[in-house]
Amino acid sequence: MNADPTPTATAAAEPRDAAGRLPVRAATPADAEAVPRMRSEHVLSAPFTEDWVRQCTDELAPRLTAEGDARAFVVDAPDGTMAACALGPIHPVLPAPAYPRGLAARVQIVATQPKFRRRGYARAVVSALLGHLADVEDVTLFELHTSPEAASLYRELGFSGNPALMRMTRHRQRSGAVSVPVAQLDSTWVPPQQCADAMPRAAAYVCLYVTDENDRPTKGCPANISAPSAERPEEVARCSAGGS
């Protein structure tokens, strides 16, 4: 996700209301194509194909209705395109004292056109999204995955912990489908052994996001273990246990 944590002055025309605020609005199903297109063009390193844009549009449109499970806020550019957007799908989790309703939201997309960055657009749409989810939808648990460069913005908005969440994708073989090697399912995926063989033998890198029973960040595995696992197994043992 891109962010503009430090707004800067600019002479370029931009939308502002009488109080000088960006006119943030709630997204509607009519915005269902623009949101994934913003992600494709301004966030992803490998943009979506048009087929994927259409698929995301068809998936998102009903979810942006009042009965749907996703909310988004946007700022429109003077030329009628979308200047910035923030999307947060809502999903159920087991309740806990910190989130008794058992509702969580993941800030999945935050995108700003390059010409509007560093003007507070990302802050405006994310703040509006978080405020709506908390005050209207009763969401109390919020999650996101961001870059180290944008992490400062989200810390100012109340997030804490490591910006990199561990994640994986698994593709189930559909009945009757032609078998496809796992490595071909995602062109950016690298087999674990190939990745390990390519790393310097003097270092291994692990990134964990660890929380306690109330989903508060706790101290996790060291980010850099300065020896290969074969030579210092005690480091790996402590890592596996979540210690440092």
pLDDT averaged over 10-residue windows placed end to end, the chain, 244 residues: 52 62 95 97 94 97 97 96 97 90 93 94 96 93 87 88 63 57 42 53 44 55 42 39 42
Q: How many Å apart are CA 132 and CA 139, to the nearest integer?
A: 9
Q: What is the DSSP letter of 213?
A: T
Q: Can you give the pLDDT at residue 231? A: 43
Q: Which residues pair with 211 in a beta bridge?
A: 217
What backbone phi and psi angles, to 5 degrees, belong to 173?
Answer: -70, 120
CA angle at residue 99 from 87 to 85, to 5 degrees?
10
Question: Which of 161, 149, 150 is closest to 126 using CA atoms?
Answer: 150
Q: Can you give the pLDDT at residue 167? A: 52
Q: Kindly state the helix (H) or strand (E) to which residue 121 belongs, with its residue range.
A: helix 121-135
Residues 2, 146 contacting (CB under 8 angstroms): no
Q: Can you give the pLDDT at residue 56? A: 97
Burial, 51: exposed, middle or buried (Cβ in 10 Å; 0-12, 13-18, 19+)? exposed
What pTM was estimated for this model as a whole?
0.64
Q: Kindly state the helix (H) or strand (E) to which residue 79 belongs, with its residue range.
A: none
Q: What is the DSSP letter of 176?
A: T
Q: How many Å apart are CA 241 and CA 26, to the nearest integer?
A: 43
Q: For residue 119, how many other CB atoms are within 10 A of its CB?
A: 22
Q: Can you give the pLDDT at residue 189? A: 46
Helices 34-42 and 50-63 cross at an angle (nearest 10°) of 130
Q: Can you give the pLDDT at residue 243? A: 43
Q: Can you give the pLDDT at residue 168? A: 61
